Amino acid sequence: MRDHAGLSAHARWVVNDLLDDLKYADGKIRKADARLREATEDDEVVRELMGQDGVGEVTAWVLRAYVGDFSRFKTAKQLARYCGLSPRNASSGNKTADGGLVDGCNKLLRTVVVQAAHRLIRTTDRWRGLAGQMRARGKPACVIVGAVGNRWLRALHHAMRQPQQQPQPQQPQQSAVKAKA
């Protein structure tokens, strides 16, 4: 694009200026990624998150930064609400209505979880199946993604609160003779 013959000199200047901005931003992103990798290379929570379906580096970093220790949430429902993936009730009197998702949340955290839900629907049988069932019932795409994100967060909460199942060294069994002594 820098030297495209179809562009006027002025348009080429604008395009080149924008391309320079993109090149600079790309360099900043690469430096930030490298710094975050270095800062979290020994972080057990990030390592565990990276082992979960649908979680890449950025998702792990954002969850680690804003959620921190998953055990601080007593229930998975609390985590989903904190991340802004709980449905908002907009009912009044005898009228019942859905109001989308709760507003009171960290928008970056919710955005990352929504992106993870989109990815899970595309790549994981469990979540693709749930999305298909909801689609068959006529649910809109945004409701489906919100529901997948909510349920995924709840499953993630359970997985992250479970103690690591480390194989325990076998204790030598005592013989029956020694046990009586």
The encoded tokens of residue 38 equal 């270095």
CA distances from 4 to 1, 20, 22, 75 (A): 5, 16, 18, 57
Q: Which residue numbers in the chain have pLDDT < 70?
A: 89-92, 95-99, 163-181
> How many other C-beta atoms lie within 10 A of the C-beta of residue 117?
24
H or E stretch at 100: strand 98-101
- Write the CB contacts of 82 (distance below 8 Å, at least 6 apart in sequence): 67, 73, 105
pLDDT of residue 91: 65
Q: What is the dihedral sign for C-alpha 118, 122, 126, 132?
A: positive
Distance (Å, rounded) from C-alpha 88 to C-alpha 4? 50
Distance (Å, rounded) from C-alpha 9 to C-alpha 169? 73
pLDDT of residue 181: 47
